[in-house]
Amino acid sequence: MRVSAVIAAGGQGARVGGDVPKQLQDLGGETLLSMAIKPFDECRRVDEIVIVLPETVTEAEAALCIQIDTPLRLVSGGSRRQDSVALGVDNVCKDADVVLVHDAARPFCTVSLIEKVIDATIEAGAVVPAIQVIDTVKKADVIDTEGIRFVEATLARDQIYLAQTPQGFARDVLRDAVELGRSGVQATDEAVLVERNGHAVRLVEGDMGNFKVTTPDDLQRVRDRIRSDLFGDVPRTRVGFGYDSHRMVAGRRLVLGGIEIPHKYGLDGHSDADAVCHAVTDAVLGAVAAGDIGLHFPDTDPQWKDVSSIELLRKAVDVVSGLGFCVGNVDVVVIAEQPRIGPHVQAMADRLSRTLGVAADLVSIKGKTAEGMDSVGRGEAIVVHAVATVVQR
């Protein structure tokens, strides 16, 4: 009994976006394609794997993410999914008894599901793994010109199943289905073509974890799963600590928390030396282990000369957001002998809250003195401590 697997990876994944097809995007050392292939490579009953690639992707490019022991064949795909699968089927071994067709956009297929489909295919000739819906299913009427739809009917959910892959077929059954597709019949999967040919398609229980990546949110689910598998469950809430200090000098504006405060001295620094923003920036970056302010905005770079530190903080928030987190709250302690911080706390909190994207009551700023001790107590410097939490979206 010889089993061939065709991995359909010929699409561009336009709904996910990006310059690279979704199945080849780097997800932290993995791609959807490499993950989709893995269980077929690990399944001892699969004798060969045929991968159908986008026409724009060379075999050399694909080989960078394909390292398997199972005999492999790479094929260029067509304009539609069914065209790509047909080209893959054309290239399976002539002595294959069972052909599995799997979407590269399903990265979490398991060896046990593959074996279940193989066993059922040997018995039935055509098999689809599927999940029975658990929600009430509504059929909508035709959409009107204003985009409004109404329920036309409620369907019996005990008869509704969501199809997955890998789908399994006896080679002759699949070959006939492919020819029907080439004759002009449109189909969203090979089972549809098999049904049109009059062959019964058996359902076997699918796997809830075997979801298809279609949207950017789906891709984030994959990244989260990879990170969890590598490092264990990642806490949804993280904490970061920030610190900054600057000397007081004449001839500079005093800017704290994005607010200019009247004073005869300002803070010395490459940017506007806003120690509050600098400490908060370090805190939010630290919470996601993304380095510090010096890494992202070095004082050796002239583009940051005299820049508003509120802008630096805004860019740091973008870094945090890009990693799938948002700021939860911030607590700041400003240690300064002069000027008094209290009268300016609310204005600073309002400015920081807008930049951080949180409510004003989630930003706490407290003013302290050094009681005349050290350089801060002598009015020669200002020190700021900040703690920030970030929450995984």
Domain 3-231 identical in fold to domain 237-392: no
Q: What is the mean pLDDT of residues 158-181?
A: 95
The pair of three-digit structure tokens given for residue 318, joined into one six-digit string: 């973008």
Separation CA 95–CA 119 (nearest Å): 18
pLDDT for 97 beyond 60: yes
Closest CA to 222 of 101, 109, 69: 109
Q: Is 278 left (phi over 0), alpha (psi -120 to 50) or beta?
A: alpha
pLDDT for the residue 200: 97
- As a whole number, the mean pLDDT across the chain is 90
Classify domain 3-231 at the CATH topology level: Spore Coat Polysaccharide Biosynthesis Protein SpsA; Chain A (3.90.550)
Distance CA 102, CA 338 (A): 68
Tens-place pLDDT, residues 333-369 = 999 999 999 999 999 999 999 999 999 899 999 999 9
288 within 8 A of 227, measured Cβ to Cβ: no
Q: Give the pLDDT score at 190.
A: 95
At 192 the pLDDT is 96
Q: Give yes or no for residue 231 having a pLDDT over 70.
A: no
User: Which is more confidently placed, 258 or 79?
Assistant: 258
Which residue is listed with tokens 């948002």? 326
Protein fold of 237-392: 60s Ribosomal Protein L30; Chain: A; (3.30.1330)
For residue range 296-315, list pLDDT tens digits in order: 988 888 888 889 999 999 99
- pLDDT higher than threshold 70 for residue 233: no
Instruction: State the DSSP H helix or E strand holding residue 217, giving kind and residue range, or none if neither.
Output: helix 216-231
Asked if 310 and 324 touch (Cβ cutoff 8 Å), the reply is no
pLDDT at residue number 66: 77
What are the residues whose beta carbons fall under 8 Å from the beta carbon of 289, sequence distance 6 or more?
none
Sign of CA dihedral 221, 227, 230, 235: negative
For the chain, the structural domain boundaries read 3-231, 237-392
> Most confidently modeled of 145-149, 262-266, 282-286, 294-298?
282-286
Quick: pLDDT tens for 188-223.
Answer: 999 999 999 999 999 999 999 999 998 888 888 888
Q: Residue 22: pLDDT above 60?
A: yes
Predicted confidence band of residue 54 (pLDDT cuts 50, 70, 90): confident
Indicate if the pLDDT at residue 88 is higher than 80.
Answer: yes
C-alpha 248/C-alpha 232 separation (Å) is 46
Question: Contact 108/210 with Cβ under 8 angstroms?
Answer: yes
**Which pLDDT does position 232 carry in this prediction?**
62
Q: What is the pLDDT of residue 236?
A: 77
- Low-confidence winner among 50-59, 61-70, 340-349 (lowest mean pLDDT): 61-70
Q: 59-68, 147-156, 352-361: lowest mean pLDDT where?
A: 59-68
